[in-house]
Structure 1
Amino acid sequence: MATKTDVGATVLATCESEKHAMSQPISTDKMSWSEQIKVLKTSKHAVLAAFGCSTTPILIGYDLTLIGSIIANKEFVKHFGVYDGNLVAWTLPANRQLIWTVIQFVSAILAAFAAGMLNDHFGRRICFFMTVGLTVAGTIAELLSPNWKVWIVAKLLMGAAMGSMQGNTQTYVSEITPVEVRGFALSLFQFWIIVGQLIASCVLEGTTRISGPWSWKTAVVTQFAPAVFCLIIFIPFVPESPYFLVSKGRIDEARASISHLRKGEPGVDIDEQVRIMEDTLSHERQEKAQASSYVECFQGTNLRRTMLACLPIISQLFFGYPLCGNYLTYFLTLSGVDDAFLITVISVVCSLLAASFAFFLIERLGRRPQLLGGMYGMLICLLVVSLLGFLGRGLLWNSRCLAAFCIIWALFYFVSVGAVGWTVVGEISSSRLRAKTTAIAAISSSIFNMGWSIAIPYLVNTEEANLGPRAALIFLGFSIPLTIVTFFALPETKAKTFAELDYLFESRTPARKF
């Protein structure tokens, strides 16, 4: 059995080899904007592959926005609800909405767990098709549901698609992109979620003008379009992950995959790239001869890497996204803001711009400063929103300030934890355990997402806790300690190869000395 000294020495040698094998090595620590564009052009085939590989989040962004808004559609309520003789109106019982929410997120948790194993057994490419297939099946089930019980089946399928997507996408992207463009590629995840949200918001606004059952069915049917888009972008441009192929001993296929991804890049030695992948995987197996398991993610230095992968994902939910993101329209409406839907659309558009800007910041600033900077900004916004819950409620200036700071919060969120969160997940884990570590992060996301989806309506509803903007205080209470933990625990992963990260973690290097 190799000693830790032997492993460390071998990893250092691999680091040097990997640096040497890169085509035109460029220090990404201080790249100018023009240099970043040049790197993207040089690695255009890998970037295009990452672009296609990361499109599946558009499906989930669309579905989550759809289910959060369609429950207000009168025809939808009539189809799946009950007639209330006292109110002389159709209503959708809260218990049915709760069942749909719980089923979808429990399904996502189980699917994310399964995705960690399926990724390692069947490959990343098959799991991509599985995600799209589950979305199509869920859409068909939604469209044909005769009652609320069959809609449960639809939510089961859509939840499975969500878990599969979260457990696969960032693993796939991180393994098909060179280190120079890895941060940019991984930040596409949140970009596509926002695109899905924006499309769904516009479609839902348009379908309000349709009468009859097709006022909600049209919004459901349009989910097929993003699914087709994903396949069109993915099939011709994205090969199987070379890391997966090397791990299975399919070396010739790995060479072909690397050749496709690094086509046109001067100085790329494909055989050397394959050898580096073999060495990296070999180092991680030296003390674990058996197949990887979820238990390993919580042993030794892998425990630190697993916790760090979950940290930014949990932060996404505890920094206010359930309030100022998922339930923004509902929250603003109950807080007395006029044109809440318009404010939501403006917020989504600003979010898209922020996520686009984050592409270039992520390789210039780095993951750590970008994440912390956004956290500081969100803390201020949450504090202001909380104060607005106590001062001038019901007044025009209060409503305008509330809407403004929710939009400002969105800018900070999507330029930081929104974009960087899943980037860290894709980089921080070991190569051999990446699929399973990503799955654990996805599971943590689904668990807390489910909890907040249940809690938010009760916190802000006028018939329940009626906190309104004061609900931001709860998120403020969580976000302060999370910011402190992030400051001391999260290392910088920018411009570091997987072999370098392995060595730094195995050496138990403190976060701020990475």
Structure 2
Amino acid sequence: MNKSDPKPSIEHIESNSIDLKEKNDVLDDVQLATDSEHDITLKEALKVYPMCIFWGIIISSTIIMEGYDVSLLGNFIGYPSFQKKYGRPFEDHYELTGPWQVGLSCASSVGAFFGVLSNGFLIEKFGHRKVIMFFLVWMTGGIFIPFFAPRVEVLLVGQIFNGIPWGVFATMGPTYSSEIMPVALRGYMTAFVNLCWATGQLLAGGILKGLVSNTTEWGYRIPFALQWVFPIPLIIMTYLAPDSPWWLIRSGKEEEAAKSLARLWNKKIHHRIPQQINLMKHTNELEKQQHNSKSNDEKGWRGYLQCFQGTNLRRTEIVCVCFIGQILAGSSFAYQPSYFFRQAGLDPANTYKLNLGTTAISFTGCIVSWLFINKFGRRRIYVTGYFFLTSLLLLIGVLAIPKQTPGIQWTQCGIVLVWVGIYATTIGPLTYTIISEMSATRLRAQSIALARNSYNIISLLSHIIQPYLLNPGEADLKGKTAFFWFGTAFPTLIWSYFRLPESKDRTYEELDILFDRKISARKFASTELDYVPEVDID
């Protein structure tokens, strides 16, 4: 020190000492909270986080409505009473024309696109609960349109209108669950979102099977009306739910975040709440530092721009390709198979029996996936599942080449059921876990919205293409349609091997560090992190 330099005052020295002590205390809390996340077992997590599970189930249950209606419209296309009301005579029965099949299949996706897009910033501005309640009320009124639709044009408008809240619900479940769950439960409860989707499909399949012989207008009106069962109880439960503590931290509401954790956690671990608050604040500040963002940059449309900057670009690529991988794997062809079964030569009764069996397999597969999700990790299950799905598409296409016999037709239908089982235990549920974990916490709503809208766009294209590939008045490819989807599935399989990282057992801060270091996707699981980066917490 220069002699001319003034000596630091005692107050200045003491102030620096206090600041250093506080900083060290925060880093200690961050490390303790991180260690706690890693050390807790599944059995222990079930005991101390029961309310996390309960509220995750409640919020994710909104997706049952989307799964129900998407399955309903997808399978109504081959439904006799629906075809008679909205279709045209074709040989000895009624048939929706190709353009109207496309229009009705795409309608809800159009609405969902705008619902998802708006939800990306509505969540950050108003929080999960208020947004869900608003769109549940919207949904309650919107059901009147398809229920009373006198013409197919009105039905189309109704599907677009109702698609907006379905888009909101589709992104809300994984967003909320990923923010209230500890690492030990995060994979299970984000994958639970797909179980809700499958539950909606199972309900729709059972109702359609029960009413397939009803040739009156009530054969399709009753399934529409049953959607009114969902909104009111969900509005009440959502009102009672706690807000996401991560959202509260991002909004600068530290005390409310602590109260939210107190509602979510068992009293036995309430002493760890200050440590968790510091971990969330530390992660939040680390991401702001990495993104060079200000406190409110993620509140509006600018958050979407940040998803394409710096390391966020890689994260956005992963969540988007992973989600559209569900469509590219052939789900439009194999996951809603009623129309394919009809075109394969099966009568309506057998078609909807198989369809109900398909939804039951899907439901069971989601539960079975929980046995593997934490044992094998996200990456291995996704890549392995994609390999088998791609192979089965090739096999279905090959079986469609020779002259078709009842034995070959039933074999194709059987392989479709196997395809659904593999899908439901691998990429179906794992996709929701991956998109929830790969995004930065400050950009989670926007990242999941971008992923879901990427899915919606590809889904729209598939709904335009798929009916023309199968429709007897168009290409009439029947099982050969599988060759088309094999052509989209195989490149996605290659991408998943080289670009999809492993996020199992990682806290969000650890994932931030791994992405910031540009670690290879195949080395995410093996890279060791043994320090906590220093950031300034206000």
If the length of structure 1 is used for normalisation, what is the TM-score? 0.89
Q: Is this contact kept in 1: 2:73–2:104, CA < 8 A? A: no
Q: Which moved more, 1:461-470 or 1:308-317?
A: 461-470
Q: Which moved more, 1:258-267 or 1:103-112?
A: 258-267
Establish whether residue 112 from structure 1 lines up as the match of residue 121 from structure 2: no
* Alignment-derived partner of residue 161 in structure 1: 165
Taking the TM superposition and a 5 Å limit, the aligned residue runs for 1:196-345 are: 196-210=200-214, 212-228=216-232, 230-231=234-235, 234-236=238-240, 238-266=241-269, 268-286=271-289, 287-289=292-294, 291-292=297-298, 293=302, 294-326=304-336, 328-337=337-346, 339-345=350-356
The equivalences for 1:35-434 within 5 A come to 36-77=42-83, 79-80=85-86, 92-210=96-214, 212-228=216-232, 230-231=234-235, 234-236=238-240, 238-266=241-269, 268-286=271-289, 287-289=292-294, 291-292=297-298, 293=302, 294-326=304-336, 328-337=337-346, 339-391=350-402, 393-434=403-444
Q: How many residues align?
A: 493
1:377 & 1:42 partners in 2: Cα distance? 38
Distance (Å, rounded) in 1 between the aligned partners of 2:415 and 2:100: 33
Contact 1:194 1:351 in 2 (8 A): yes
Question: Could you tell me how far 1:419 is from its partner in structure 2?
Answer: 0.7
Query: How much does 1:80 deviate?
Result: 4.1
Cα distance between partner residues in 2 of 1:465 and 1:506 = 48
Decide whether the 8 Å contact of 2:66 with 2:170 is kept in 1.
Answer: no
**Superposed displacement of residue 131, structure 1:** 3.7
Cα displacement string for residues 201-249 of structure 1 (whole angstroms, at most 9, x for unaligned residues): 111222234453222211111111233454465444x311111111112
User: Is 1:15–1:497's contact at 8 Å kept on the other side of the alignment?
Assistant: no
Shift of 1:100: 3.4
What per-residue deviation string (whole Å, max 9, x for no partner) do you get for residues 5-64 of structure 1? xxxxxx999887445126855558xxxxxx534432332111112111211111011101
* More displaced stretch, 199-208 vs 209-218: 209-218
Quick one: which of 477, 485, 488 aligns to 2:498?
488
Mapped pair 1:21 → 2:33: yes
Distance 1:506 1:245, change over 3 A: same
- Runs of 4 or more consecutive aligned structure 1 residues displaced over 6 Å after TM superposition: 11-16, 86-90
Do the aligned partners of 2:30 and 2:282 also contact (CA within 8 Å) in 1?
no
The answer to whether the 8 Å contact 1:23/1:265 transfers is: no
* Segment of structure 1 superposing worse, 97-106 or 110-119: 97-106
Q: Is the 8 A contact 2:66 2:166 kept in 1?
A: yes
Alpha-carbon shift at residue 140 of structure 1 (Å): 1.8
Shift of 1:191: 0.5
1:273 CA displacement: 1.5
* Deviation (angstroms), 1:168: 2.2
In 2, are the aligned partners of 1:198 and 1:345 still within 8 Å (CA)? yes
Structure 1 residues 26 and 251: CA distance shift in structure 2, 3 A: closer
2:454 aligned with 1:448: no
Greater radius of gyration (CA): 2
Secondary structure at the aligned position of 2:492 is classed as helix
Q: Structure 2 vs 1, CA of residues 211 and 397 (structure 1 numbering), >3 Å: closer, same or farther?
A: closer
Contact 2:361/2:424, CA 8 A, preserved across alignment: no
Question: Amino acid of the residue matched to residue 194 of structure 2?
Answer: Q
The answer to whether the 8 Å contact 1:170/1:423 transfers is yes
Q: Which moved more, 1:45-54 or 1:97-106?
A: 97-106
Structure 1 counterpart of 2:428, one-letter code: G
Q: Is the 8 A contact 2:498 2:521 kept in 1?
A: yes
Q: Is the 8 A contact 1:15 1:500 kept in 2?
A: no
Which one-letter code corresponds to 1:95 in the other structure? P
CA change 1:479–1:72 in 2 (3 A) is closer
For the 8 Å contact 1:262–1:268, the answer to whether it is kept is no
CA RMSD in angstroms, aligned pairs only: 2.5
Query: Does the 8 A contact of 1:43 with 1:265 survive in 2?
Result: no
Counterpart Cα distance in 2 of 1:12 and 1:364: 35
Which secondary structure state, in structure 1, belongs to the residue aligned with residue 143 of structure 2? helix
Shift of 1:152: 3.0
8 Å CA contact 1:322–1:453 kept in 2: the answer is yes
Q: For the Cα contact (< 8 Å) 1:24–1:266, is it kept in 2? A: no
- CA drift at 1:311: 1.8
Alignment check: 8 A CA contact 2:328 2:485 kept: yes
Following TM superposition, by how much is the alpha carbon of 1:506 offset from its aligned partner in structure 2, in angstroms?
Answer: 0.7
Give me the whole-angstrom Cα distance separating, in 2, the residues matched to 1:343 and 1:169: 29
Alignment check: 8 A CA contact 2:400 2:478 kept? yes
Q: Which amino acid aligns with 1:223?
A: Q
Q: Distance in 1 between matches of 2:381 and 2:239?
A: 33
How far does residue 468 in structure 1 lie from its aligned partner after superposition?
Answer: 1.2
